[in-house]
């Protein structure tokens, strides 16, 4: 059940499930209620209130697939080039779309009108915090959903450096140590009255997304447990994922009891590794389609989608409340499919001479074989 494309198929289904949870959170939940015509009317519904947990599910998937890519690459630079060519084409297209939409629909979109400088964080995959803190450049993300891409990019750099220097065991140990350091630093700083000393490194690591590294480590251990047929690693993966669900940051004003959704996402992921029935459910054609378009959909759905919902609801005031988000969801799926099917490959082809030139300049060979699944967040 774990061979070849069948395994990839149910991972795509997991990606599809994760992005649908995120869409529910953004289109029906409380986070953008001030922009939505129906406010918080649907925020209490099951899976809507906990939809933000879809991002953590993406992190689990990313940790799971990353070693497949690491093992296919010839070294750190080869790995980063492969990750960049997977991330950048859709990010470039999506960023330009969001920037253009922010000029045309600023009154309806979260964040309002964007400046050209706001393109920089997304295109560099660097948290705006670092531009302001270290370069004095005040920029913001074009879309609030980009925060998780900054975490993903930081994870790639850290795991790549650790893996090619120390091997997978020590790389995972280093990942866990970084994660735990961020978890324990605040209480230690408070108890030892060391806030002035520990605040700068904590802010640096926290904004890097190190507090989410436990999710990636859990996913990676699930993969190693499968390949090594190791029940101990499988139990460790579950345990680390559950600890991550108890310690991870959650959105403001969300009650702590909804951490249950995070724990359930870990248990569901574990079930999907061992259950042929779960894999068949995740391999439903409609879910595989959503998984296929999940990365471009994640990039463009949030600010543009919320703005379009407000615009459609205002233009057609007589529509039932749920019709605008359904129309916009359909439109976003179609847009994401066009990006995944045509636009991303076209941009990747245009960028190929650049990546090949960088390989020649740096003396980096490309390992044989195709790259693995694009991303855990999202493919």
326, 309 in Cβ contact below 8 A?
A: no
pLDDT in tens, 83-98: 999 999 999 999 999 9
Report the alpha-carbon distance of residue 241 to residue 219 in Å, rounded. 8
89: its two tokens? 């084409």
Position of tokens 């990313």? Answer: 62
Q: Is the pTM of this model over 0.85?
A: yes
| Phi, then psi, of 251 in degrees rounded to 5 | -60, 155
Identify the pLDDT of residue 6. 39
Average pLDDT of each block of 10 consecutive residues along the chain (379 residues)?
54 97 96 95 91 96 95 95 96 98 96 96 97 94 97 98 97 98 95 94 97 98 95 98 92 71 96 96 97 98 98 95 98 98 97 94 75 45
Identify the pLDDT of residue 372. 44
pLDDT in tens, 146-195: 999 999 999 999 999 999 999 999 999 999 999 999 999 999 999 999 99
Identify the pLDDT of residue 377. 45
Q: How many CB atoms lie within 10 A of CB 3?
A: 7
Identify the pLDDT of residue 335. 98
Identify the pLDDT of residue 376. 54
Instruction: Give the C-alpha distances (Å, rounded to integers) separating 64 from 93, 216, 226, 255, 334.
Output: 27, 7, 10, 29, 28
């Amino acid at each position: 059940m774990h061979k070849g494309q069948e395994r990839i198929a149910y991972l795509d289904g997991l990606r599809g499930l994760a992005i649908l949870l995120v869409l529910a959170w953004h289109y029906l939940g409380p986070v953008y209620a001030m922009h939505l015509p129906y406010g918080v009317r649907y925020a209490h519904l099951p899976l809507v209130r906990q939809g933000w947990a879809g991002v953590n599910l993406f992190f689990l998937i990313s940790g799971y697939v990353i070693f497949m890519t690491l093992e296919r690459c010839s070294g750190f630079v080869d790995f980063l080039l492969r990750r960049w060519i997977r991330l950048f084409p859709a990010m470039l297209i999506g960023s330009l779309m969001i920037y253009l939409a922010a000029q045309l629909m600023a009154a309806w979109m979260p964040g309002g009108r964007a400046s050209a400088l706001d393109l920089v964080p997304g295109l560099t995959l660097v948290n705006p915090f670092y531009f302001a803190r270290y370069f004095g450049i005040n920029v913001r993300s074009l879309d609030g959903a980009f925060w998780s891409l900054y975490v993903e990019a930081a994870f790639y750099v850290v795991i790549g450096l650790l893996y090619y220097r120390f091997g997978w065991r020590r790389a995972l140990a280093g990942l866990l140590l970084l994660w735990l350091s961020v978890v324990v630093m605040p209480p230690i700083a408070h108890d030892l009255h060391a806030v002035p000393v520990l605040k700068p490194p904590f802010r640096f690591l926290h904004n890097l997304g190190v507090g989410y590294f436990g999710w990636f480590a859990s996913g990676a251990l699930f993969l190693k447990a499968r390949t090594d047929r190791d029940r101990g690693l499988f139990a460790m993966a579950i345990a680390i994922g559950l600890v991550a669900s108890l310690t991870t940051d959650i959105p403001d004003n969300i009650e702590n009891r909804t951490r249950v959704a995070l724990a359930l996402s870990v248990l569901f992921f574990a079930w999907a590794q061992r259950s042929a029935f779960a894999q068949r459910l995740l391999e439903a054609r409609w879910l595989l389609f959503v998984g296929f378009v999940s990365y471009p959909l994640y990039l463009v759905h949030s600010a543009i989608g919320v703005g379009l919902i407000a615009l459609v609801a205002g233009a057609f005031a007589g529509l039932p409340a749920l019709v605008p988000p359904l129309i916009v969801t359909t439109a976003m799926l179609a847009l994401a499919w066009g990006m995944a099917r045509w636009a991303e490959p076209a941009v990747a082809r245009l960028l190929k001479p650049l990546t090949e030139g960088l390989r020649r300049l740096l003396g980096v060979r490309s390992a044989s074989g195709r790259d693995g699944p694009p991303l855990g967040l999202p493919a």
